[in-house]
Structure 1
Amino acid sequence: METLLEILSDLVPGVQFEGRTDLVESGDLDSLKILNLISDISDEFDVTIPVGEVVPENFDSPEAIMALINKLQK
């Protein structure tokens, strides 16, 4: 989770991510940032995120993003 939080902080400096459940709704993660995040996640965690998994529910919180990563690593 720490690695993911570092990726998020680098992508959107100055935003508090821990405990958040509204990253997409609030606009902190817009479509362009999500695309960049997917690229960073792919590089760091060696996973490919299918297009069908790119839905707001999977990116609304660090926990949801980490759950997606864990699911794809299995």
Structure 2
Amino acid sequence: MRRLESVGGLAVSQKKEWGEILSGFEGSNKYVVSDEGGHELFYAVEEPGSVLARLFLKAYRPFAIDVVNRA
């Protein structure tokens, strides 16, 4: 996380899977965290949770995200 000390801003963008786009059903969300120049710094992956919470609560469901270094 030391790389964040010199970054002026961050952008988080969700990576969509083709299966999700075609079916309309979302799995665990994946994100790319980039600096203001568009350079990828980290990946973020949502931990699997309750299918029922995802189905009924949508964006209001509780969730946890793991942030990992770009390898």
Alignment TM-score, normalising by the size of structure 1: 0.28
More helix by share: 1
The structure whose RCO (Cα within 8 Å, separation 6+) is larger is 1
Which of 1 and 2 has greater Rg? 2
More strand by share: 2
